[in-house]
Amino acid sequence: MPSSPFRPDDPREWLRRARGNLAYAKLDGEGVLNEDRAFNAQQAAEKALKALLLHEGVIIPFTHDLRELLGRLDHAGIRGGIPADVKSVDSLTPYAVASRYPGAPDEAVMDTEVTSAIHLAERVVEWASVAMGG
């Protein structure tokens, strides 16, 4: 049995996966690393933006660069435009790679950074969901 009710090229599947990453980002407790939480916040935002791109009929690029994804959405003429607070999501791009492996980033990801990353990812997932009509 498939693990999802949606096909991999269905925007709803990308949004479902974004919500899953967001749930992981919110995990906190012993043994849970801020770097991993920040990575999952970035992934939630990335997958939400890619869901919206698919919804708009745009082929999604193989990139973790949230600024590039925002640019493609802007170019696609997303209805209502991109909200100003969502545009700041590109600040999460460094968490896509730098925080995933031991020894990187150079400095630990602080609790306040994770909290901000989660709030921003939540906003992006919420906006993408509404923009997709759900």
Tell me: the pLDDT tens digits for 32-49?
999 999 999 999 999 999
In a domain, 1, yes or no: no
Q: What is the mean pLDDT of residues 76-85?
A: 94
Per-residue confidence band for 105, with pLDDT thresholds at 50, 70 and 90: low
Structural domain for 105, as ranges? 11-131
Would residue 3 count as lying in a domain? no
pLDDT tens-digit readout, 86-97:
999 999 999 998
- Quick check: is 17 in a domain? yes
- Decide if 97 is inside a domain: yes
Total structural domains in the chain?
Answer: 1
Highest mean pLDDT, choosing among 4-13, 73-82, 113-122: 113-122
In this structure, the number of other CB atoms found within 10 A of the CB of residue 19 comes to 15
Class of residue 75 by CB neighbours under 10 A (exposed 0-12, middle 13-18, buried 19+):
exposed
Q: Is 6 a domain residue?
A: no
DSSP class of 30: T
CATH number of the domain where residue 54 is located: 1.20.120.330
| Mean pLDDT calculated for residue range 75-94 | 95
pTM of the model: 0.94
The answer to whether position 118 is within a domain reads yes
Query: Is the separation of the CB atoms in 33 and 86 below 8 Å?
Result: no
